[in-house]
Chain A
Amino acid sequence: MFKAKNIAAVALLAAVYTAIKILRLTGIFGSYHEITIAQICINMLLACSLNLITGFAGQFSLGHAGFMSIGAYACALIIIRFPSVYGFMLGLIAGSLASAVVGLAIGIPTLRLSGDYLAIATLGMAEIIKVVFFNLKITNGAAGLMNIPRLMNWEWMFCLTAGSVALINNFINSRHGRACMSIREDEIASQSVGIDIALYKIAAFAIGAFFAGISGGMYAAYFYVLKPGIFGLLKSIDILVIVVLGGLGSISGSIIGAALLTLISALLQDFASLRMIIYALMLIAIMMFRPQGLLGTNEISFALFTRALKRESAK
Protein backbone atom coordinates (compact mmCIF):
# COMPACT_ATOMS: atom_id res chain seq x y z
CA MET A 1 0.00 0.00 0.00
CA PHE A 2 2.68 2.52 1.03
CA LYS A 3 5.16 1.56 -1.62
CA ALA A 4 7.60 4.13 -2.88
CA LYS A 5 5.91 4.39 -6.25
CA ASN A 6 2.50 5.01 -4.70
CA ILE A 7 3.90 7.76 -2.51
CA ALA A 8 5.63 9.24 -5.55
CA ALA A 9 2.38 9.18 -7.51
CA VAL A 10 0.48 10.91 -4.71
CA ALA A 11 3.28 13.47 -4.33
CA LEU A 12 3.23 14.16 -8.06
CA LEU A 13 -0.54 14.61 -8.03
CA ALA A 14 -0.32 16.95 -5.04
CA ALA A 15 2.43 18.96 -6.75
CA VAL A 16 0.43 19.35 -9.96
CA TYR A 17 -2.66 20.28 -7.94
CA THR A 18 -0.79 22.89 -5.90
CA ALA A 19 0.88 24.33 -8.98
CA ILE A 20 -2.46 24.81 -10.73
CA LYS A 21 -4.00 26.19 -7.56
CA ILE A 22 -1.24 28.78 -7.17
CA LEU A 23 -1.40 29.77 -10.82
CA ARG A 24 -5.14 30.11 -10.52
CA LEU A 25 -5.03 32.15 -7.28
CA THR A 26 -2.35 34.51 -8.57
CA GLY A 27 -4.49 35.12 -11.59
CA ILE A 28 -1.93 33.82 -14.09
CA PHE A 29 -4.46 31.17 -15.07
CA GLY A 30 -7.75 32.77 -16.10
CA SER A 31 -11.05 31.06 -16.78
CA TYR A 32 -9.81 30.26 -20.28
CA HIS A 33 -7.03 28.17 -18.81
CA GLU A 34 -9.46 26.54 -16.45
CA ILE A 35 -11.56 25.36 -19.38
CA THR A 36 -8.46 23.84 -20.94
CA ILE A 37 -7.68 22.05 -17.68
CA ALA A 38 -11.23 20.72 -17.59
CA GLN A 39 -10.91 19.48 -21.15
CA ILE A 40 -7.61 17.80 -20.37
CA CYS A 41 -9.19 16.00 -17.40
CA ILE A 42 -12.13 14.79 -19.47
CA ASN A 43 -9.90 13.66 -22.31
CA MET A 44 -7.52 11.88 -19.94
CA LEU A 45 -10.30 9.85 -18.43
CA LEU A 46 -11.78 9.09 -21.84
CA ALA A 47 -8.40 8.03 -23.18
CA CYS A 48 -7.53 5.85 -20.18
CA SER A 49 -10.89 4.11 -20.29
CA LEU A 50 -10.65 3.50 -24.03
CA ASN A 51 -7.10 2.29 -23.57
CA LEU A 52 -8.43 -0.33 -21.19
CA ILE A 53 -10.74 -1.64 -23.92
CA THR A 54 -8.53 -1.19 -26.96
CA GLY A 55 -4.97 -1.02 -25.66
CA PHE A 56 -5.10 -3.62 -22.91
CA ALA A 57 -7.91 -6.02 -23.79
CA GLY A 58 -7.25 -5.54 -27.53
CA GLN A 59 -10.89 -4.88 -28.46
CA PHE A 60 -10.97 -2.23 -31.15
CA SER A 61 -13.75 0.25 -30.38
CA LEU A 62 -14.98 3.23 -32.35
CA GLY A 63 -17.91 3.91 -30.07
CA HIS A 64 -16.41 5.52 -27.03
CA ALA A 65 -18.22 8.83 -27.52
CA GLY A 66 -21.45 6.85 -27.33
CA PHE A 67 -20.62 5.64 -23.82
CA MET A 68 -19.62 9.16 -22.89
CA SER A 69 -22.91 10.59 -24.15
CA ILE A 70 -24.94 8.20 -22.00
CA GLY A 71 -23.11 9.34 -18.88
CA ALA A 72 -23.45 12.96 -19.95
CA TYR A 73 -27.19 12.87 -20.64
CA ALA A 74 -28.03 10.81 -17.57
CA CYS A 75 -26.07 13.14 -15.35
CA ALA A 76 -27.48 16.28 -16.99
CA LEU A 77 -31.09 15.11 -16.69
CA ILE A 78 -30.61 14.41 -13.01
CA ILE A 79 -28.79 17.61 -12.07
CA ILE A 80 -31.30 19.76 -13.93
CA ARG A 81 -33.86 18.41 -11.48
CA PHE A 82 -31.56 18.27 -8.43
CA PRO A 83 -29.03 21.05 -8.83
CA SER A 84 -26.87 20.20 -5.84
CA VAL A 85 -23.70 18.33 -5.07
CA TYR A 86 -25.79 15.32 -4.08
CA GLY A 87 -27.67 15.54 -7.33
CA PHE A 88 -24.38 15.59 -9.15
CA MET A 89 -23.13 12.54 -7.25
CA LEU A 90 -26.34 10.73 -8.05
CA GLY A 91 -26.08 11.81 -11.69
CA LEU A 92 -22.51 10.64 -11.93
CA ILE A 93 -23.32 7.25 -10.46
CA ALA A 94 -26.48 6.79 -12.52
CA GLY A 95 -24.73 7.93 -15.69
CA SER A 96 -21.71 5.71 -15.30
CA LEU A 97 -23.82 2.70 -14.37
CA ALA A 98 -26.14 3.26 -17.33
CA SER A 99 -23.11 3.51 -19.54
CA ALA A 100 -21.65 0.31 -18.10
CA VAL A 101 -24.93 -1.51 -18.76
CA VAL A 102 -24.83 -0.40 -22.38
CA GLY A 103 -21.19 -1.52 -22.43
CA LEU A 104 -22.39 -4.95 -21.33
CA ALA A 105 -25.13 -4.88 -23.92
CA ILE A 106 -22.64 -4.15 -26.67
CA GLY A 107 -19.96 -6.49 -25.30
CA ILE A 108 -22.09 -9.62 -25.26
CA PRO A 109 -23.42 -9.71 -28.84
CA THR A 110 -20.09 -8.60 -30.33
CA LEU A 111 -18.04 -11.22 -28.47
CA ARG A 112 -17.24 -13.15 -31.61
CA LEU A 113 -16.19 -10.10 -33.56
CA SER A 114 -12.68 -8.80 -33.64
CA GLY A 115 -10.64 -6.14 -35.36
CA ASP A 116 -12.35 -4.15 -38.10
CA TYR A 117 -15.67 -5.96 -37.64
CA LEU A 118 -15.82 -5.02 -33.99
CA ALA A 119 -14.89 -1.43 -34.86
CA ILE A 120 -17.83 -1.25 -37.28
CA ALA A 121 -20.20 -2.78 -34.74
CA THR A 122 -19.18 -0.34 -32.00
CA LEU A 123 -19.42 2.53 -34.46
CA GLY A 124 -22.95 1.44 -35.28
CA MET A 125 -23.79 1.23 -31.58
CA ALA A 126 -22.58 4.78 -30.98
CA GLU A 127 -24.63 6.03 -33.93
CA ILE A 128 -27.72 4.29 -32.57
CA ILE A 129 -27.21 5.99 -29.20
CA LYS A 130 -26.82 9.32 -30.95
CA VAL A 131 -30.00 8.82 -32.95
CA VAL A 132 -31.88 7.90 -29.78
CA PHE A 133 -30.79 11.14 -28.13
CA PHE A 134 -31.74 13.04 -31.28
CA ASN A 135 -35.27 11.72 -31.10
CA LEU A 136 -36.09 11.49 -27.43
CA LYS A 137 -38.34 14.15 -26.02
CA ILE A 138 -36.64 14.17 -22.65
CA THR A 139 -33.27 15.03 -24.21
CA ASN A 140 -34.84 17.81 -26.27
CA GLY A 141 -33.71 16.32 -29.60
CA ALA A 142 -31.25 18.12 -31.83
CA ALA A 143 -31.54 21.37 -29.88
CA GLY A 144 -30.10 19.56 -26.90
CA LEU A 145 -30.14 20.35 -23.22
CA MET A 146 -29.29 23.90 -22.20
CA ASN A 147 -28.67 25.59 -18.86
CA ILE A 148 -27.37 22.53 -17.14
CA PRO A 149 -26.24 23.78 -13.74
CA ARG A 150 -22.48 24.08 -13.54
CA LEU A 151 -21.63 21.98 -10.52
CA MET A 152 -18.07 21.23 -11.51
CA ASN A 153 -14.93 23.22 -11.02
CA TRP A 154 -11.44 22.20 -11.92
CA GLU A 155 -10.73 20.90 -8.40
CA TRP A 156 -13.59 18.42 -8.70
CA MET A 157 -12.44 17.47 -12.18
CA PHE A 158 -8.90 16.93 -10.98
CA CYS A 159 -9.88 14.68 -8.09
CA LEU A 160 -12.43 12.67 -10.07
CA THR A 161 -9.99 12.12 -12.91
CA ALA A 162 -7.10 11.21 -10.62
CA GLY A 163 -9.29 8.79 -8.67
CA SER A 164 -10.77 7.16 -11.76
CA VAL A 165 -7.42 6.79 -13.50
CA ALA A 166 -5.97 5.27 -10.32
CA LEU A 167 -8.81 2.73 -10.28
CA ILE A 168 -8.26 1.87 -13.95
CA ASN A 169 -4.56 1.54 -13.28
CA ASN A 170 -5.20 -0.77 -10.32
CA PHE A 171 -7.46 -2.94 -12.44
CA ILE A 172 -4.83 -3.21 -15.14
CA ASN A 173 -2.12 -4.18 -12.68
CA SER A 174 -4.27 -6.84 -11.04
CA ARG A 175 -4.50 -10.44 -12.18
CA HIS A 176 -7.69 -9.45 -13.98
CA GLY A 177 -5.78 -6.82 -15.92
CA ARG A 178 -3.18 -9.41 -16.78
CA ALA A 179 -5.94 -11.65 -18.04
CA CYS A 180 -7.20 -8.83 -20.29
CA MET A 181 -3.72 -8.30 -21.69
CA SER A 182 -3.28 -11.98 -22.35
CA ILE A 183 -6.43 -11.90 -24.49
CA ARG A 184 -4.89 -9.12 -26.57
CA GLU A 185 -1.78 -11.25 -26.99
CA ASP A 186 -3.39 -14.55 -27.90
CA GLU A 187 -6.92 -15.77 -27.31
CA ILE A 188 -6.21 -19.46 -27.73
CA ALA A 189 -3.24 -19.37 -25.38
CA SER A 190 -5.36 -17.49 -22.83
CA GLN A 191 -7.99 -20.19 -22.97
CA SER A 192 -5.37 -22.87 -22.61
CA VAL A 193 -4.30 -21.45 -19.24
CA GLY A 194 -7.90 -21.25 -18.09
CA ILE A 195 -8.74 -17.58 -18.66
CA ASP A 196 -12.42 -17.01 -19.38
CA ILE A 197 -11.94 -14.81 -22.44
CA ALA A 198 -15.64 -14.06 -22.88
CA LEU A 199 -15.90 -12.81 -19.32
CA TYR A 200 -12.88 -10.52 -19.58
CA LYS A 201 -13.81 -9.09 -22.96
CA ILE A 202 -17.21 -8.13 -21.61
CA ALA A 203 -15.70 -6.85 -18.37
CA ALA A 204 -13.27 -4.64 -20.28
CA PHE A 205 -16.15 -3.14 -22.25
CA ALA A 206 -18.27 -2.58 -19.17
CA ILE A 207 -15.49 -1.03 -17.09
CA GLY A 208 -14.29 1.15 -19.97
CA ALA A 209 -17.85 2.30 -20.57
CA PHE A 210 -18.32 2.98 -16.85
CA PHE A 211 -15.44 5.44 -16.75
CA ALA A 212 -16.41 6.99 -20.08
CA GLY A 213 -19.78 7.59 -18.40
CA ILE A 214 -18.06 9.42 -15.54
CA SER A 215 -16.20 11.64 -17.98
CA GLY A 216 -19.50 12.33 -19.72
CA GLY A 217 -21.03 13.39 -16.41
CA MET A 218 -18.08 15.69 -15.78
CA TYR A 219 -18.56 17.17 -19.21
CA ALA A 220 -22.26 17.81 -18.69
CA ALA A 221 -21.77 19.46 -15.31
CA TYR A 222 -19.04 21.74 -16.61
CA PHE A 223 -20.01 22.87 -20.10
CA TYR A 224 -23.74 23.77 -19.56
CA VAL A 225 -24.85 22.45 -22.98
CA LEU A 226 -25.35 18.98 -24.41
CA LYS A 227 -26.19 18.22 -28.01
CA PRO A 228 -26.23 14.77 -29.57
CA GLY A 229 -23.95 16.06 -32.34
CA ILE A 230 -21.06 16.51 -29.90
CA PHE A 231 -20.84 12.76 -29.43
CA GLY A 232 -20.46 11.71 -33.04
CA LEU A 233 -17.89 9.57 -34.77
CA LEU A 234 -15.44 12.46 -34.76
CA LYS A 235 -15.39 12.52 -30.97
CA SER A 236 -14.76 8.77 -30.83
CA ILE A 237 -11.91 9.17 -33.27
CA ASP A 238 -10.46 12.05 -31.26
CA ILE A 239 -10.28 9.77 -28.24
CA LEU A 240 -8.81 6.93 -30.26
CA VAL A 241 -6.16 9.29 -31.64
CA ILE A 242 -5.09 10.21 -28.10
CA VAL A 243 -4.85 6.55 -27.13
CA VAL A 244 -2.90 5.51 -30.23
CA LEU A 245 -0.65 8.52 -30.01
CA GLY A 246 0.11 8.02 -26.33
CA GLY A 247 0.68 4.32 -26.84
CA LEU A 248 -1.80 1.44 -26.92
CA GLY A 249 -1.38 -0.33 -23.62
CA SER A 250 0.18 2.52 -21.65
CA ILE A 251 -1.81 4.48 -19.09
CA SER A 252 0.91 7.11 -18.70
CA GLY A 253 0.91 7.36 -22.49
CA SER A 254 -2.80 8.13 -22.48
CA ILE A 255 -2.33 10.75 -19.76
CA ILE A 256 0.49 12.48 -21.61
CA GLY A 257 -1.25 12.10 -24.96
CA ALA A 258 -4.45 13.66 -23.62
CA ALA A 259 -2.61 16.59 -22.05
CA LEU A 260 -0.48 17.17 -25.13
CA LEU A 261 -3.19 16.97 -27.76
CA THR A 262 -5.67 19.04 -25.77
CA LEU A 263 -3.04 21.72 -25.19
CA ILE A 264 -2.00 21.74 -28.82
CA SER A 265 -5.53 22.05 -30.02
CA ALA A 266 -6.17 24.85 -27.48
CA LEU A 267 -3.02 26.71 -28.46
CA LEU A 268 -3.85 26.46 -32.13
CA GLN A 269 -7.21 28.06 -31.57
CA ASP A 270 -5.71 31.43 -32.57
CA PHE A 271 -4.97 30.07 -36.03
CA ALA A 272 -8.48 28.88 -36.68
CA SER A 273 -8.11 28.26 -40.39
CA LEU A 274 -4.80 26.45 -40.12
CA ARG A 275 -5.62 24.62 -36.93
CA MET A 276 -6.85 21.32 -38.30
CA ILE A 277 -4.08 21.25 -40.91
CA ILE A 278 -1.31 21.77 -38.36
CA TYR A 279 -2.96 19.30 -35.98
CA ALA A 280 -3.24 16.66 -38.69
CA LEU A 281 0.32 17.19 -39.89
CA MET A 282 1.59 16.76 -36.35
CA LEU A 283 -0.31 13.54 -35.96
CA ILE A 284 1.12 12.23 -39.21
CA ALA A 285 4.63 13.20 -38.14
CA ILE A 286 4.31 11.54 -34.72
CA MET A 287 2.90 8.38 -36.25
CA MET A 288 5.73 8.26 -38.80
CA PHE A 289 8.46 8.61 -36.21
CA ARG A 290 6.79 6.85 -33.28
CA PRO A 291 4.44 4.29 -34.82
CA GLN A 292 4.10 2.55 -31.44
CA GLY A 293 2.88 5.81 -29.87
CA LEU A 294 4.80 8.14 -27.62
CA LEU A 295 5.31 5.57 -24.88
CA GLY A 296 4.63 2.30 -26.69
CA THR A 297 3.44 -0.12 -24.02
CA ASN A 298 5.79 1.33 -21.40
CA GLU A 299 4.73 3.13 -18.28
CA ILE A 300 6.59 5.98 -16.72
CA SER A 301 8.22 4.63 -13.61
CA PHE A 302 11.29 4.87 -11.45
CA ALA A 303 12.79 1.91 -13.24
CA LEU A 304 12.51 3.80 -16.52
CA PHE A 305 14.41 6.76 -15.10
CA THR A 306 17.12 4.72 -13.41
CA ARG A 307 17.62 2.75 -16.61
CA ALA A 308 17.91 5.96 -18.62
CA LEU A 309 20.38 7.31 -16.08
CA LYS A 310 22.47 4.17 -16.30
CA ARG A 311 22.51 4.44 -20.06
CA GLU A 312 23.63 8.04 -19.81
CA SER A 313 26.41 7.30 -17.37
CA ALA A 314 27.56 4.38 -19.49
CA LYS A 315 28.16 6.70 -22.41
Chain B
Amino acid sequence: MLELKSLNVHYGVIHVLKDVSLTVGRGQIVTLIGANGAGKTTALRTISGIKAPSSGSIILDGQDITKIPAPKRVVLGLSQVPEGRRIFASMSVYENLELGAYLRKDTKAVKSDIQDVFARFPILGKRQKQPAGTLSGGEQQMLAIGRALMLKPKILLLDEPSMGLAPILVNEIFDIIKNINEQGTTVLLVEQNASKALAIADIGYVLETGTIVLSGTGAELAASDDVKKAYLGG
Protein backbone atom coordinates (compact mmCIF):
# COMPACT_ATOMS: atom_id res chain seq x y z
CA MET B 1 0.00 0.00 0.00
CA LEU B 2 2.78 2.37 0.94
CA GLU B 3 6.27 1.88 -0.31
CA LEU B 4 9.49 3.81 0.19
CA LYS B 5 12.08 3.15 -2.50
CA SER B 6 15.73 3.91 -1.60
CA LEU B 7 14.88 7.21 -0.02
CA ASN B 8 17.68 9.66 0.74
CA VAL B 9 17.08 12.73 2.85
CA HIS B 10 19.49 15.52 3.73
CA TYR B 11 19.29 18.36 6.18
CA GLY B 12 21.89 20.67 4.65
CA VAL B 13 25.03 18.52 4.44
CA ILE B 14 23.80 16.01 6.99
CA HIS B 15 22.70 12.76 5.39
CA VAL B 16 19.81 11.73 7.62
CA LEU B 17 18.22 8.87 5.72
CA LYS B 18 20.39 6.62 3.58
CA ASP B 19 18.72 4.43 0.99
CA VAL B 20 15.74 3.66 3.15
CA SER B 21 13.28 1.21 1.61
CA LEU B 22 10.29 -0.21 3.34
CA THR B 23 6.86 -1.58 2.52
CA VAL B 24 3.63 -1.26 4.40
CA GLY B 25 1.02 -3.79 3.28
CA ARG B 26 -2.71 -3.17 3.37
CA GLY B 27 -4.22 -3.82 6.79
CA GLN B 28 -0.86 -4.26 8.49
CA ILE B 29 0.72 -2.58 11.43
CA VAL B 30 4.29 -1.78 10.46
CA THR B 31 6.65 -0.33 12.98
CA LEU B 32 9.84 1.59 12.53
CA ILE B 33 11.96 1.45 15.65
CA GLY B 34 15.28 3.00 16.45
CA ALA B 35 17.18 5.11 18.94
CA ASN B 36 17.09 8.89 19.24
CA GLY B 37 18.40 10.57 16.15
CA ALA B 38 18.16 7.47 13.97
CA GLY B 39 15.92 9.33 11.52
CA LYS B 40 12.50 7.95 12.46
CA THR B 41 10.73 11.28 12.59
CA THR B 42 12.47 12.41 9.43
CA ALA B 43 11.15 9.30 7.70
CA LEU B 44 7.61 10.16 8.73
CA ARG B 45 8.01 13.78 7.74
CA THR B 46 9.20 12.71 4.34
CA ILE B 47 6.24 10.40 3.94
CA SER B 48 3.77 13.12 4.95
CA GLY B 49 5.48 15.62 2.65
CA ILE B 50 6.77 18.15 5.16
CA LYS B 51 10.37 17.27 4.21
CA ALA B 52 11.40 16.70 0.61
CA PRO B 53 13.73 13.77 -0.13
CA SER B 54 16.90 14.37 -2.13
CA SER B 55 16.36 11.11 -4.02
CA GLY B 56 14.18 8.03 -4.02
CA SER B 57 10.45 7.74 -4.26
CA ILE B 58 7.31 7.25 -2.19
CA ILE B 59 4.54 5.15 -3.66
CA LEU B 60 1.00 5.12 -2.27
CA ASP B 61 -1.41 2.63 -3.81
CA GLY B 62 0.71 2.45 -6.93
CA GLN B 63 0.82 6.24 -7.33
CA ASP B 64 4.12 8.07 -7.02
CA ILE B 65 3.47 10.81 -4.44
CA THR B 66 7.05 12.00 -4.01
CA LYS B 67 6.32 15.35 -5.66
CA ILE B 68 2.83 15.88 -4.21
CA PRO B 69 2.68 18.63 -1.56
CA ALA B 70 1.77 17.77 2.02
CA PRO B 71 -1.87 18.93 2.13
CA LYS B 72 -2.70 16.95 -1.04
CA ARG B 73 -1.24 13.79 0.48
CA VAL B 74 -3.70 14.09 3.32
CA VAL B 75 -6.46 14.05 0.71
CA LEU B 76 -4.99 10.86 -0.69
CA GLY B 77 -5.45 9.15 2.66
CA LEU B 78 -2.22 9.71 4.57
CA SER B 79 -3.05 11.02 8.00
CA GLN B 80 -0.41 11.80 10.57
CA VAL B 81 -0.48 11.98 14.33
CA PRO B 82 2.51 14.24 14.87
CA GLU B 83 5.17 13.73 17.50
CA GLY B 84 4.31 15.30 20.83
CA ARG B 85 0.58 15.18 20.03
CA ARG B 86 0.27 18.75 18.76
CA ILE B 87 -3.34 19.35 19.55
CA PHE B 88 -4.87 22.82 19.17
CA ALA B 89 -4.53 23.72 22.83
CA SER B 90 -6.86 26.69 23.17
CA MET B 91 -9.63 25.18 21.06
CA SER B 92 -12.18 22.82 22.55
CA VAL B 93 -11.98 19.05 22.12
CA TYR B 94 -14.93 19.23 19.76
CA GLU B 95 -13.33 21.96 17.64
CA ASN B 96 -10.15 19.91 17.42
CA LEU B 97 -12.12 17.05 15.92
CA GLU B 98 -13.94 19.41 13.56
CA LEU B 99 -10.59 20.67 12.33
CA GLY B 100 -9.53 17.09 11.81
CA ALA B 101 -12.35 16.93 9.27
CA TYR B 102 -11.24 20.21 7.72
CA LEU B 103 -10.88 18.64 4.29
CA ARG B 104 -14.29 17.01 4.34
CA LYS B 105 -17.38 18.69 2.97
CA ASP B 106 -19.99 16.21 4.25
CA THR B 107 -20.98 18.11 7.40
CA LYS B 108 -23.58 15.61 8.57
CA ALA B 109 -21.29 12.62 8.31
CA VAL B 110 -18.61 14.61 10.13
CA LYS B 111 -20.97 15.10 13.07
CA SER B 112 -21.70 11.40 13.32
CA ASP B 113 -17.99 10.58 12.97
CA ILE B 114 -17.24 12.89 15.88
CA GLN B 115 -19.75 10.88 17.90
CA ASP B 116 -17.91 7.72 16.80
CA VAL B 117 -14.69 9.16 18.17
CA PHE B 118 -16.49 9.90 21.43
CA ALA B 119 -17.75 6.32 21.48
CA ARG B 120 -14.20 5.08 21.05
CA PHE B 121 -12.82 7.50 23.64
CA PRO B 122 -15.64 8.20 26.12
CA ILE B 123 -13.44 10.53 28.15
CA LEU B 124 -13.19 12.89 25.15
CA GLY B 125 -16.97 12.97 24.94
CA LYS B 126 -17.15 14.01 28.56
CA ARG B 127 -14.66 16.77 27.96
CA GLN B 128 -15.80 17.88 24.52
CA LYS B 129 -16.31 21.52 25.49
CA GLN B 130 -13.10 21.80 27.46
CA PRO B 131 -10.05 23.51 25.92
CA ALA B 132 -7.85 20.70 24.65
CA GLY B 133 -4.81 22.10 26.46
CA THR B 134 -6.39 21.20 29.80
CA LEU B 135 -6.52 17.47 28.98
CA SER B 136 -4.02 15.06 30.47
CA GLY B 137 -1.22 13.71 28.29
CA GLY B 138 -3.03 10.46 27.59
CA GLU B 139 -6.26 12.23 26.74
CA GLN B 140 -4.40 14.58 24.42
CA GLN B 141 -2.89 11.59 22.65
CA MET B 142 -6.36 10.10 22.26
CA LEU B 143 -7.56 13.40 20.87
CA ALA B 144 -4.66 13.55 18.41
CA ILE B 145 -5.48 10.03 17.23
CA GLY B 146 -9.18 10.84 17.10
CA ARG B 147 -8.45 13.93 15.06
CA ALA B 148 -6.40 11.92 12.56
CA LEU B 149 -9.21 9.35 12.29
CA MET B 150 -11.68 12.09 11.33
CA LEU B 151 -10.18 11.96 7.83
CA LYS B 152 -10.90 8.24 7.56
CA PRO B 153 -7.33 7.69 6.45
CA LYS B 154 -6.20 4.72 4.41
CA ILE B 155 -3.02 4.75 6.40
CA LEU B 156 -2.40 6.26 9.79
CA LEU B 157 1.09 7.52 10.54
CA LEU B 158 1.85 7.62 14.25
CA ASP B 159 4.94 9.38 15.55
CA GLU B 160 5.93 8.16 19.01
CA PRO B 161 2.45 7.94 20.48
CA SER B 162 3.82 6.65 23.79
CA MET B 163 6.11 9.62 24.32
CA GLY B 164 5.73 11.22 27.72
CA LEU B 165 2.91 8.98 28.88
CA ALA B 166 2.60 7.01 32.13
CA PRO B 167 3.25 3.26 31.59
CA ILE B 168 -0.37 2.33 32.22
CA LEU B 169 -1.47 4.79 29.53
CA VAL B 170 1.17 3.50 27.14
CA ASN B 171 -0.52 0.08 27.26
CA GLU B 172 -3.88 1.69 26.67
CA ILE B 173 -2.62 3.66 23.66
CA PHE B 174 -1.12 0.52 22.10
CA ASP B 175 -4.40 -1.32 22.65
CA ILE B 176 -6.16 1.53 20.88
CA ILE B 177 -3.76 1.37 17.94
CA LYS B 178 -4.28 -2.37 17.63
CA ASN B 179 -8.02 -1.86 17.79
CA ILE B 180 -7.98 0.82 15.09
CA ASN B 181 -5.95 -1.50 12.90
CA GLU B 182 -8.36 -4.39 13.44
CA GLN B 183 -11.13 -2.17 12.15
CA GLY B 184 -9.32 -1.84 8.85
CA THR B 185 -6.90 1.07 9.01
CA THR B 186 -3.32 0.41 7.99
CA VAL B 187 -0.85 1.75 10.53
CA LEU B 188 2.74 2.89 10.29
CA LEU B 189 4.04 3.27 13.80
CA VAL B 190 7.27 5.00 14.67
CA GLU B 191 8.37 4.21 18.20
CA GLN B 192 11.20 4.25 20.67
CA ASN B 193 9.38 1.81 22.89
CA ALA B 194 10.54 -1.15 20.84
CA SER B 195 9.13 -4.00 22.91
CA LYS B 196 5.59 -2.61 22.91
CA ALA B 197 5.72 -1.65 19.27
CA LEU B 198 7.02 -5.05 18.13
CA ALA B 199 4.40 -6.81 20.23
CA ILE B 200 1.57 -5.39 18.12
CA ALA B 201 3.36 -5.06 14.78
CA ASP B 202 3.08 -7.42 11.82
CA ILE B 203 6.33 -6.17 10.35
CA GLY B 204 9.14 -4.22 11.98
CA TYR B 205 12.09 -2.27 10.63
CA VAL B 206 15.07 -1.21 12.73
CA LEU B 207 16.59 2.12 11.80
CA GLU B 208 20.12 2.95 12.90
CA THR B 209 21.74 6.29 12.03
CA GLY B 210 19.68 6.58 8.88
CA THR B 211 20.01 3.04 7.57
CA ILE B 212 17.65 0.12 7.95
CA VAL B 213 19.77 -2.55 9.58
CA LEU B 214 17.17 -5.21 10.31
CA SER B 215 13.68 -6.14 9.30
CA GLY B 216 11.28 -8.98 9.93
CA THR B 217 8.01 -9.85 11.54
CA GLY B 218 7.33 -8.30 14.93
CA ALA B 219 7.88 -11.60 16.68
CA GLU B 220 11.15 -12.33 14.82
CA LEU B 221 12.60 -8.97 15.70
CA ALA B 222 11.47 -9.19 19.31
CA ALA B 223 13.33 -12.51 19.52
CA SER B 224 16.44 -11.29 17.71
CA ASP B 225 19.55 -11.01 19.84
CA ASP B 226 20.68 -7.76 18.20
CA VAL B 227 17.40 -6.05 18.87
CA LYS B 228 17.27 -7.42 22.39
CA LYS B 229 20.72 -6.11 23.11
CA ALA B 230 20.20 -2.70 21.60
CA TYR B 231 16.62 -1.84 22.41
CA LEU B 232 15.05 -4.29 24.78
CA GLY B 233 17.59 -4.14 27.60
CA GLY B 234 19.35 -7.53 27.06
- A binding-site residues for B, Cβ under 8 Å: 175, 178-179, 181-182, 185-186, 188-196, 297
Contact = CB atoms under 8 A, between A and B. Distances in A.
Contacts of A186: 86-89
Interface string B61-82: 0000000011100110001111
A192 B81 contact: yes
B175 to A, nearest CB: 23
Given A193-B102, A194-B102, A194-B103, A188 B151 contact: no
B199 interface: no
A181 B79 CA distance: 20
B140 to A, nearest CB: 11
A179 B102 contact: yes
20 contacts: A178-B99, A182-B88, A182-B102, A185-B90, A186-B87, A189-B86, A191-B71, A192-B79, A192-B80, A192-B81, A192-B148, A193-B79, A193-B100, A193-B103, A193-B147, A194-B71, A194-B75, A194-B151, A195-B71, A297-B90
Interface residues of B, number: 28
A189 B48 contact: no
B89 A188 contact: no
Interface string B37-57: 000000000001010000000
Interface of B: 48, 50, 69-71, 74-75, 79-82, 86-91, 95, 98-100, 102-103, 144, 147-148, 150-151
Given A179-B102, A185-B91, A192-B80, 14 more contacts: A175-B102, A178-B99, A182-B88, A185-B90, A186-B86, A189-B82, A190-B99, A191-B71, A192-B48, A192-B74, A192-B79, A192-B81, A193-B100, A194-B103
B85 to A, nearest CB: 8
* Binding site secondary structure of chain A: helix
A40 to B, nearest CB: 29
A179 B101 CA distance: 11
B75 A191 contact: no
B210 to A, nearest CB: 22
Given A182-B88, A194-B71, A194-B151, A188 B82 contact: yes
B82 A195 contact: no
Nearest to A186: B86
Given A185-B90, A297-B90, A191 B70 contact: yes
A192 B91 contact: no
B168 to A, nearest CB: 26
Contacts of B95: 178
Contacts of B98: 178
Contacts of B79: 192-193
Nearest to B89: A185
Nearest to B49: A191
